[in-house]
C-alpha cells in the first residue's frame, strides 16, 4: 500500500510538471512580439510548401484527359508532370476573375529565370510611373518568395533588386553565380528564354488614387519568338496596368519536378471589371488583427483583383486607433497597449495597399457601436460622449453587447469625430467614398435621456451633423459618395440618394433591399446570408436570419 501511494504521488507530480511545461510553451508562443514582415516574406508564408515534393505526391504524374487532369501512378514511363503544371496547361482558362472580354491563352509553356525579367513603362505621368515600378517590385518579390518557399536554388530565386532600366542590381556573390550560368550551354538547355520583357503603356489617367470613375480595364498580349518572351500591356490607368500584372502572375507557376518557373507563352486578354466597387471588410475591433495579418489580407485581395479594403477599425468592443488629437480613445478603449494602430501603421498599410491597386476605406462606426473608448468625457470636462455604455440587459439598448451609443446632443462628440475624420483622410489620401457607419441605432437607449416625439429625428440629425463634420475635415468638400449601413432607419426620408450610398448587410430577402433600390439609392451588397465569411467560427446568436 505504501508503495502504491508513493507511485501515485510520483505520477501526480509528473502530471503537474507536464501541465506546467505545456502552459509555459503556450505562454511563450502567445507572448512573442508582433513584428512586421516584408511583402516577400508575407507571400512566402501564405504560399509556403516544402521545397522537395515528398510522400505520395512525388510518385504521381498527371495527364490532361477530356480537359481535366487525371493522376497516374509511378509505373508510367517518361518525365513526371506535376499537378500544377497539368492544370495550367489543361482545360479552361486559369485566370481569376475570369476576363470579361476576349481571352485566348495557349497551352505551351516557357521556362525562364527571374533575373531575366525586365520592365519598361511608358506614361506621361511621373507619379503613375513611380507607382508602377513599386508594383513591379512587388511582382518580382512575390515570385521570388514562391521560389524561396519551395527551396529553389540561388540562381532561380534571384536575390537581385529591380532598377529603373529594367535590369537587376546584383551582389558580388550573386553576380558570380549568374555569370557562370549566363555564358554556358547549361542555361540554354535549362531555360527557354534569355529575355522576358514586360512593357506597359498607360495611355490616359494621371491618378494614383482610385475613384468610382477609374477605368480599370487593360489589354494584354504575350508572345514568344526565338529566345525572347514579350508581354505588352495597354491600360488607361495605373489600376488597369496593375490588374494586368496580376493576370500575368496568374500565368506563371513553379514546376516542382523541374524546379523552375514556367509561364504560358501565348495569350491575348481584354478585361475590364464588371463592378467598380469590389470590396472586402475586415473588423479589427471585435478581434484585433496585427499589421502583418492585415497585409496578408491585402495580398489575397490583390490576387483576386479586389479594389476596396473597408477597414471597420472601431466598434463597441474596442477602439484600437491611436488618435493624435484624442489619445484617450485608445487608452480607454484598446484591448491592450499592444493591440493598437498608430498613424505610422495606417500609413504603412495604405501604401502597401496602393501598390497593389487597393483603396483603404476607414470606418469609425457611429453613432451606435461606440462604447468602450468613449467613456472618458466627464473626467476631461467634455460631458457624456456616449450613452448606455455596457448597460444591461443589453438586448434592450443595443444590437449586440457591449452597448454604447454616441450622445447626439453633445457638441464635443461631433468635434472628436471631425478630428478623427481629418486624421484618417490625411493618412489615406483623397477619398471619393467614405463610410460613416450609422448601423443599428437603438432608439430605446436615447429615449432614456431625451424627450423627442419622434426619436428617428435624432438619428437623422446625427447623420447630417456627421456628414457636415466630414465635409469640414475634407477641406470643405464632401466626398462624392458617403456610405452608411442599412438599418430600420435608412428608409426614413432624411438622407439624400445623391450623396449617400447604403451598404446592405441584412438578409438577401429582407424587404429593405427592394425599398432602397426603389428609392434610388446606390447599394453596396454584403448580405449576411451570402457574403459574411465569419460564419462557422462560433455563434453567440443561435436563431434568426443573422445567426451563423
169 vs 118: CA distance, rounded Å: 12
Q: In 10 A of CB 139, how many CB atoms? A: 21
Task: Work out the burial of residue 268: count CB atoms within 10 Å of its CB; fewer than 13 is exposed, 13-18 middle, 19 or more buried.
Answer: middle
What is the average pLDDT score of the chain?
85
pLDDT band at 158 (very low <50, low <70, confident <90, very high): low
Dihedral sign, Cα of residue 534, residue 537, residue 538, residue 543? positive
Whole-angstrom Cα distance, residue 218 to residue 240?
A: 5
CA angle 261–295–137, rounded 5-degree value: 45
Where are the domain boundaries for CATH 3.30.379.10 in the chain? 96-158+191-271
How distant, in Å, are the alpha carbons of 43, 212, 342, 356 from that of 38? Answer: 9, 30, 18, 14
From residue 543, give the alpha-carbon distance in Å to each of 486, 511, 513, 537, 539: 20, 19, 21, 15, 10
At 111 the pLDDT is 96
Q: How far apart are CA 233 and CA 417, in angstroms?
A: 43
Distances 157 to 227, 251, 259 between C-alpha atoms, Å? 21, 18, 11
How far separated are the first and last CA of the chain, in Å rounded? 55
Are the beta carbons of 328 and 380 closer than 8 angstroms?
A: yes
Q: How many angstroms separate the Cα of 459 from the Cα of each of 69, 263, 489?
A: 58, 56, 8
pLDDT value of position 219: 98
Q: Does domain 279-525 have CATH number 3.20.20.80?
A: yes
> How far is the C-alpha of 388 from the C-alpha of 529, rounded, in Å?
29
CB 238 within 8 A of CB 202: yes
Active site residue 440: yes
Residue 293 has a pLDDT of 97
Under CATH, which number does the domain 96-158+191-271 receive?
Answer: 3.30.379.10
pLDDT in tens, 278-324: 999 999 999 999 999 999 999 999 999 999 999 999 999 999 999 99
Residues of the chain with CATH 3.20.20.80: 279-525
Q: Which region among 161-170, 188-197, 414-423, 436-445 has the lowest average model confidence (pLDDT)? A: 161-170
Separation CA 461–CA 469 (nearest Å): 12
Q: Which of 53-67, 192-206, 305-319 has the lowest mean pLDDT?
A: 53-67
Tens of pLDDT, residues 84-128: 999 999 988 889 999 999 999 999 999 999 999 999 999 999 999
Rounded to whole angstroms, how far apart are CA atoms 483 and 302?
Answer: 23
Which is more confidently placed, 145 or 49? 145
Q: How far is CA 378 from CA 217, 295, 316, 382, 452, in A?
A: 53, 38, 18, 6, 24
Does residue 286 contact residue 365 with C-beta atoms inside 8 Å? no
Residue 452: band (very low, low, confident or very high) from pLDDT cuts 50, 70, 90: confident
Long-range Cβ contact pairs of 469-476 (< 8 A, separation 24 or more): 469/414, 469/415, 469/417, 469/418, 469/421, 470/418, 470/421, 470/434, 470/436, 472/418, 473/418, 473/419, 473/421, 473/422, 473/425, 474/421, 474/425, 474/434
Q: Are 106 and 260 in contact (CB under 8 A)?
A: no
d(CA 253, CA 90): 14
Residue of 440, 444, 512, 545 marked catalytic: 440
Give 161-164's long-range contacts (Cβ < 8 A, gap of 24+). 162/119, 162/133, 162/136, 162/137, 164/133
| pLDDT band (50, 70, 90) for residue 57 | low
Omega within 30 of 0 (cis) for the link into 464: no
Phi, psi of 546 (to 5 degrees): -95, 5
DSSP-derived pairing of the beta strands 405-406 and 386-387:
antiparallel
368 in Cβ contact with 441 (< 8 Å):
yes
Report the 3 state secondary structure along 94-148. Answer: CCCCCCCCCEEECCCEEEECHHHEEEEEECCCHHHHHHHHHHHHHHHHHHHHHHH
What is the predicted pLDDT for the residue at 168?
A: 46
Cis omega (within 30 of 0) for bond into 179: no
Residue 176 reports pLDDT greater than 80: no
Amino acid at each position: 500500500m505504501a508503495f502504491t501511494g508513493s507511485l501515485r504521488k510520483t505520477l501526480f507530480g509528473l502530471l503537474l510538471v507536464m501541465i506546467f511545461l505545456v502552459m509555459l510553451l503556450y505562454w511563450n508562443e502567445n507572448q512573442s512580439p508582433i513584428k512586421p514582415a516584408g511583402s516577400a516574406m508575407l507571400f512566402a508564408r501564405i504560399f509556403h510548401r516544402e521545397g522537395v515534393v515528398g510522400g505520395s505526391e512525388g510518385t504521381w504524374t498527371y495527364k490532361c484527359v477530356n480537359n481535366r487532369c487525371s493522376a497516374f501512378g509511378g509505373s508510367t514511363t517518361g518525365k513526371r508532370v506535376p499537378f500544377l503544371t497539368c492544370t495550367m496547361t489543361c482545360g479552361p482558362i486559369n485566370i481569376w476573375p475570369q476576363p470579361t472580354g476576349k481571352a485566348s491563352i495557349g497551352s505551351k509553356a516557357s521556362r525562364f529565370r527571374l533575373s531575366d525579367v525586365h520592365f519598361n513603362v511608358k506614361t506621361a505621368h511621373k507619379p503613375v510611373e513611380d507607382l508602377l515600378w513599386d508594383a513591379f517590385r512587388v511582382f518580382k518579390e512575390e515570385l521570388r518568395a514562391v521560389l524561396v518557399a519551395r527551396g529553389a536554388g540561388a540562381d532561380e530565386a534571384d536575390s537581385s533588386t529591380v532598377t529603373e532600366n529594367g535590369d537587376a542590381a546584383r551582389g558580388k556573390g550573386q553576380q558570380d553565380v549568374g555569370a557562370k550560368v549566363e555564358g554556358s550551354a547549361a542555361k540554354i538547355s535549362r531555360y527557354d528564354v534569355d529575355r522576358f520583357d514586360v512593357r506597359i503603356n498607360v495611355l490616359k489617367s494621371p491618378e494614383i488614387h482610385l475613384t468610382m470613375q477609374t477605368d480599370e480595364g487593360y489589354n494584354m498580349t504575350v508572345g514568344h519568338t526565338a529566345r525572347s518572351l514579350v508581354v505588352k500591356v495597354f491600360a488607361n490607368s495605373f489600376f488597369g496596368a496593375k490588374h494586368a500584372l496580376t493576370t500575368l502572375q496568374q500565368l506563371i507557376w513553379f514546376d516542382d519536378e523541374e524546379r523552375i518557373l514556367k509561364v504560358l507563352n501565348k495569350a491575348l486578354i481584354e478585361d475590364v471589371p464588371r463592378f467598380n466597387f469590389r470590396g472586402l471588410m475586415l473588423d479589427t475591433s471585435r478581434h484585433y488583427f496585427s499589421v502583418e495579418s492585415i497585409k496578408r489580407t491585402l495580398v489575397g485581395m490583390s490576387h483576386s483583383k479586389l479594389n476596396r479594403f473597408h477597414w471597420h477599425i472601431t466598434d463597441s468592443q474596442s477602439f484600437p486607433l491611436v488618435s493624435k488629437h484624442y489619445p484617450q480613445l485608445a487608452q480607454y478603449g484598446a484591448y491592450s497597449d499592444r493591440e493598437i494602430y498608430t498613424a505610422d501603421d495606417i500609413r504603412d498599410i495604405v501604401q502597401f495597399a496602393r501598390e497593389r491597386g487597393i483603396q483603404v476605406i476607414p470606418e469609425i462606426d457611429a453613432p451606435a457601436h461606440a462604447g468602450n473608448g468613449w467613456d472618458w468625457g466627464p473626467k476631461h470636462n467634455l460631458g457624456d460622449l456616449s450613452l448606455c455604455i455596457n448597460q444591461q440587459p443589453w438586448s434592450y439598448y443595443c444590437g449586440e453587447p457591449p452597448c454604447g451609443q454616441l450622445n447626439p446632443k453633445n457638441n464635443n462628440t461631433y468635434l472628436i469625430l471631425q478630428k478623427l475624420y481629418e486624421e484618417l483622410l490625411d493618412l489615406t489620401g483623397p477619398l471619393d467614398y467614405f463610410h460613416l457607419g450609422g448601423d443599428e441605432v437603438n432608439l430605446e437607449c436615447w429615449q432614456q435621456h431625451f424627450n423627442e416625439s419622434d426619436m428617428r429625428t435624432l438619428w437623422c440629425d446625427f447623420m447630417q451633423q456627421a456628414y457636415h463634420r466630414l465635409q469640414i475635415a475634407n477641406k470643405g468638400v464632401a466626398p462624392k459618395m458617403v456610405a452608411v449601413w442599412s438599418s430600420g432607419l435608412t428608409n426614413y426620408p432624411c438622407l439624400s440618394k445623391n450623396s449617400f450610398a447604403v451598404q446592405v448587410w441584412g438578409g438577401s430577402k429582407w424587404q429593405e433591399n427592394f425599398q432602397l433600390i426603389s428609392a434610388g439609392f446606390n447599394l453596396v451588397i454584403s448580405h449576411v446570408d451570402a457574403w459574411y465569411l465569419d460564419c462557422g467560427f462560433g455563434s453567440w446568436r443561435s436563431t434568426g436570419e443573422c445567426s451563423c
